[in-house]
Amino acid sequence: MSNAEHICRTCEEWEKIKLECGDGPWQKEPSRVEWKHAGLPCIAHRGGGGAWCGYVAVPPGHKYHGKDCGEIDDAIDVHGGLTFAAKCHGHICHVPEPGEPDDVWWFGFDCAHAYDMRPESKMFETPRWSQLEEHYWTLEEVQEETNRLAEQLASIETN
Q: Which residues contact 125 (CB under 8 A, 6 or more apart)?
A: none
| Distance between CA atoms of residues 129 and 43, nearest Å | 29
Write out the H or E segment, with its range, that includes residue 56. Answer: strand 52-58
Mean pLDDT lowest among 62-71, 81-90, 103-112, 123-132: 123-132
pLDDT above 80: residue 55? yes
Mean local confidence (pLDDT), 68-89: 92
Bridge partners of 54, per DSSP, are 44, 109
Confidence check: pLDDT of 94 > 60: yes
- For the stretch 103-134, pLDDT in tens is 999 999 999 888 888 887 765 555 444 555 67
Name the residue ranges covered by the structural domains of the chain: 3-154
Dist CA 124 CA 138 (whole Å)? 20
| Distances 22 to 17, 18, 52, 110 between C-alpha atoms, Å | 10, 8, 17, 21
Q: What pLDDT is recorded for position 82? A: 95
